[in-house]
Structure 1
Amino acid sequence: MKKMVLDCENCYAEFVNRLNDLRDVIQEGKSHGMDDRIRAEIVKSFEKAHDAALETIAAYFRNQGKPAFSGSRDATVEAFHADLIDDGQGWLDMIICRIKYNPLYPGDYLGSLTENIVKKYIHFLEGFERVMEKNLDT
């Protein structure tokens, strides 16, 4: 069954919900300690928020009549060129970090990924939230 294509406003609303979930779990970790359960929840919430951001980017460009992207890297580069994100390299680093976290690859990236999410990636997502809010006048 093909996934229904959401319009940009709906995608953005979903992104904001996912970002708020991420903020909540980060705050829980800061308040109660960063054990492995909290770290795993942070990563899961981050992945959902990042995926929702990428879907919002795709919907935004779809509304402008641009063709679909071949992947998250292409969407990220195009979003940087369109000033939807302000740190293209940081966003590309998020993608790479997510790939490294994949359980199919060896290595324990849970701690480093969680640290990057809390210290850097949340700010990239929040910056995207501010830009899209202005662009959509929501």
Structure 2
Amino acid sequence: MKKTVLECEHCFTDFINQLNELRDLIQEGKSHGMNDAIRAKLIVSFEKSHDAALETIASYFKTQGKAPFSGSRDITVEAFHADLIDDGQGWLDMIIHRIKHNPLYPGDYLGSLAENIVKKYLGFLEGFERNMEEKLEG
């Protein structure tokens, strides 16, 4: 059990590192203007942060003896019920927005995804950071 807890803490550390990179990029965009190059970097950093959050959640549930989940939507719903995330619908919307950003779908989502990262999604990830810290400390 101790090894599993350490894996969870390691995943959480990776998440915090990714989140800090995202914060730095957002600050850079606010300071120097949000051009397409910064938006593209912001989206990549956001995707890494979101993936790291999902890995942390999966690892946490593993410490709880819960079975693996079939996808990001299932794990997000379970994370909401376990009070790891505050806004379940917001997280589900975040997943959908990531899917729509895929080049296979028509439309330009670069600007709207970058805007949502700054205005909403960073707050969701920071809420997860706060909640996960409480779970790991408690």
- TM (norm. structure 1) is 0.94
**Residue number in structure 2 paired with 1:130:** 130
Q: Which has the higher helix share?
A: 2
**Residue number in structure 2 paired with 1:82:** 82
Q: Which deviations, in whole Å up to 9, do the C-alpha atoms of 1:24-79 show, x marking residues without a partner? A: 00000000000000000110000000000000000000111100000000000000
Q: Which runs of 4+ in 1 moved over 3 A?
A: none
The equivalences for 1:67-106 within 5 A come to 67-106=67-106
**Residue number in structure 2 paired with 1:25:** 25
State whether structure 2 residue 55 is matched by structure 1 residue 49.
Answer: no
Q: Which whole-Å CA distance do the structure 1 matches of 2:63 and 2:30 have between them?
A: 39
Aligned partner letter, 2:110 = L
Gaps of 5+ in 1: none
Q: Which whole-Å CA distance do the structure 2 matches of 1:91 and 1:134 have between them?
A: 19
User: Identity of counterpart residues, as a percentage?
Assistant: 75
Gaps of 5+ in 2: none
Q: Which whole-Å CA distance do the structure 1 matches of 2:105 and 2:42 have between them?
A: 20
Aligned-residue CA RMSD (Å): 1.3
Q: Which whole-Å CA distance do the structure 2 matches of 1:25 and 1:52 have between them?
A: 17
Q: How many Å apart are 1:134 and its aligned residue?
A: 1.1
Q: Which whole-Å CA distance do the structure 1 matches of 2:65 and 2:136 have between them?
A: 16
Q: Which whole-Å CA distance do the structure 1 matches of 2:7 and 2:65 have between them?
A: 13
SS in 2 for 1:38: helix
- TM (norm. structure 2) is 0.94
